[in-house]
């Protein structure tokens, strides 16, 4: 795919359309699997909206740092595979590749190993450079993780590291003749220092002052905390319309846009108000992984009901549970004392095990045993006269479509390209 307009041009066109009363909120989608990539590209072809794929370093990263849990992707394979799927489904619209939460200690292993500052920053720079070389369009600069701080990384350190990273990336981009990059700054971490509007505006003001001083590009998004928080299989935060509206107004003063993270599982009534208050964009990822896992679990239920010979069963449910439980990625999403409980203790509670399978099944999809079980399940379902792949893709598409509709994104690609060309 060759985007007809750059990410920056797309966002400038968005702002122009908003001023004309054509309001919508963009969505950044976590690339949880190949099925999700196919689902979002098919849906974007049908509904005519820009695809914004936001990959964390755990999901997609350089092979030298361990690759990603999503299909074992590094940046290059992620882009190439997405382009291949786009060609297969006949999608030729706008598709942007973005780094979500790039920066030092943003891989779980780096944080657990408590890497020293210099090493963590060097790894972050190398990862960002691989993003740029692979053709990414937007990079989230997020130096708000640091194992030496138990809670908040001081804002002056966040600012210093943000500047260091953007300076490095821009220098290398120019040196290598790479395409223009867009940037996103800030964090949604509830323990971070950007909770209050005054602190949020202070961060933007100082960051923009420093960037202008060095003639560096200003971020198109600044992430703010609007009260969203994803835990378990729901949004346990307390979304606040007043805060979201205030932060949105602050970003507009500086010519940037409010980006909201952790948008998973929010009610439609909350999603519908996002375009109204000019919230520029929202990120969603875990919800779509959960939906895909639940699609497999639906098919397993049909398999177990209608496949008569026990020896022919895929046993995918048990296999998903085994890898989801032992993989321990559920610790990020659990609440209370269960986040640190031993696996053996969690395994004793049937409800916890079921919950972990649902919310962490997508992390296991690249395991050889899981792949073999999925293939066996699909064969069994096909013998029953059903199309299992279509069902899985359709479930994911329906989940994504809820956001596309509520965010008023239908038909926006055509309008954005037209407006961007008018602005040139």
The β-bridge relationship of strands 95-102 and 51-55 is parallel
Q: How many CB atoms lie within 10 A of CB 167?
A: 14
Token pair, residue 299, equals 């098919």
Looking at the chain, the number of H-run helices and the number of E-run strands are 16, 10
Beta bridge partners of 96: 52
**What local confidence, expressed as pLDDT, does residue 43 receive?**
98
Residue 190: per-residue pLDDT: 42
pLDDT in tens, the chain (424 residues): 778 999 999 999 999 999 999 999 999 999 999 999 999 999 999 999 999 999 999 999 999 999 999 999 999 999 999 999 999 999 999 999 999 999 999 998 999 999 999 999 999 999 999 999 999 999 999 999 999 987 788 889 999 999 999 999 999 999 999 999 999 998 765 444 456 888 889 999 999 999 999 999 999 999 988 877 665 566 666 788 998 999 999 999 999 999 999 899 999 999 999 999 999 999 999 999 999 999 999 999 999 999 999 999 999 999 999 999 998 888 887 778 888 888 888 898 898 889 899 989 999 999 999 999 999 999 999 999 999 999 999 999 999 999 999 999 999 999 999 999 999 8
pLDDT at 225: 85
Length of the chain: 424
- Coil vs helix vs strand at 238: coil
Three-state SS at 260: strand
Return all residues near 136 (Cβ < 8 A) that are at least 6 apart.
75, 79, 97, 98, 99, 181
What's the token pair of residue 205?
A: 């003001």
Cβ neighbours, 10 Å, residue 212: 10
> Which two three-digit tokens encode residue 115?
């890497």
In terms of Cβ atoms closer than 10 Å to its own Cβ (0-12, 13-18, 19+), residue 197 is middle
Q: Which helix (H) or strand (E) holds 100?
A: strand 95-102
Q: Which two tokens stand for residue 407?
A: 């965010």
346 contacts 356 by C-beta, under 8 angstroms: yes
Lookup result for tokens 């003063």: 253
Task: Output DSSP code: residue 88.
Answer: H
Residue 420: how many other CB atoms lie within 10 Å = 22
Residue 30's nearest CA partner among 5, 59, 62, 8 is: 59
364 and 323 Cβ atoms separated by less than 8 Å: yes
Return the C-alpha torsion angle 81, 86, 87, 88, nearest 10: 90
Measured in degrees and rounded to the nearest 5, phi and psi for residue 185 equal -130, 170
pLDDT score, position 10: 98
Q: Specify the 3-state DSSP secondary structure of 240.
A: coil
CB 281 within 8 A of CB 25: yes
**Residue 222, SS3 per DSSP:** strand
- The end-to-end CA distance of the chain, in Å, is 22
pLDDT value of residue 411: 98
The domain locations on the chain are: 7-284+409-423, 289-395
* pLDDT at site 232: 55
Cβ 147 vs Cβ 114: under 8 Å: yes
CATH number of 7-284+409-423: 3.20.20.70
């Amino acid at each position: 795919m060759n985007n007809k307009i750059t990410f920056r041009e797309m966002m400038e066109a968005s702002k122009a359309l908003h001023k004309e009363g054509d309001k919508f909120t963009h969505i950044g989608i976590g690339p949880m699997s190949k099925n999700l990539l196919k689902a979002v590209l098919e849906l974007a072809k049908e509904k005519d909206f820009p695809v914004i794929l936001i990959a964390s370093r755990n999901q997609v990263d350089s092979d030298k740092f361990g690759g990603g849990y999503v299909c074992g992707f590094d940046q290059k394979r992620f882009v190439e595979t997405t382009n291949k799927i786009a060609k297969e489904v006949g999608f030729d619209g706008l598709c942007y590749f973005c780094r979500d939460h790039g920066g030092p200690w943003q891989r779980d292993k780096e944080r657990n190993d408590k890497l020293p500052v210099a090493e963590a920053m060097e790894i972050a720079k190398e990862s960002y450079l691989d993003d740029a070389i692979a053709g990414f369009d937007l990079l989230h600069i997020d130096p708000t993780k640091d194992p030496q701080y138990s809670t908040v990384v001081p804002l002056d350190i966040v600012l210093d590291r943000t500047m260091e990273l953007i300076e490095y990336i821009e220098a290398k981009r120019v040196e290598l003749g790479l395409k223009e990059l867009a940037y996103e700054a800030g964090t949604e971490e509830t323990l971070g220092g950007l909770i209050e509007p005054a602190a949020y505006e202070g961060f933007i003001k100082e960051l923009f002052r420093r960037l202008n001083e060095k003639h560096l590009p200003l971020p198109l998004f600044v992430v703010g905390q609007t009260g969203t928080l994803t835990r378990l299989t729901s949004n346990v935060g307390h979304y606040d319309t007043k805060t979201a509206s205030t932060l949105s107004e602050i970003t507009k003063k500086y010519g940037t846009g409010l980006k909201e993270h952790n948008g998973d599982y929010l009610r439609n009534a909350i999603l519908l108000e996002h375009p109204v208050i000019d919230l520029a964009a929202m990120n969603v990822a875990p919800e779509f992984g959960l939906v895909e896992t639940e699609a497999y679990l639906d098919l397993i239920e049909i398999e177990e009901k209608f496949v008569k010979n026990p020896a022919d069963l895929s046993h995918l449910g048990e296999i998903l549970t085994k890898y989801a439980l032992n993989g321990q990625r559920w610790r990020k999403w659990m609440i209370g004392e269960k986040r640190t409980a031993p696996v053996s203790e969690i395994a004793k509670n049937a409800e916890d095990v079921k919950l972990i399978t649902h919310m962490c099944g997508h992390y296991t999809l690249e395991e050889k045993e899981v792949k073999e079980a999925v293939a066996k399940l699909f064969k069994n379902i096909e013998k029953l006269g059903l199309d299992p792949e279509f069902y899985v893709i359709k479930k994911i598409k329906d989940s994504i479509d809820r956001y596309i509709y509520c965010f008023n994104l239908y038909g926006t690609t055509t309008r954005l390209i037209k407006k961007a060309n008018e602005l040139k």
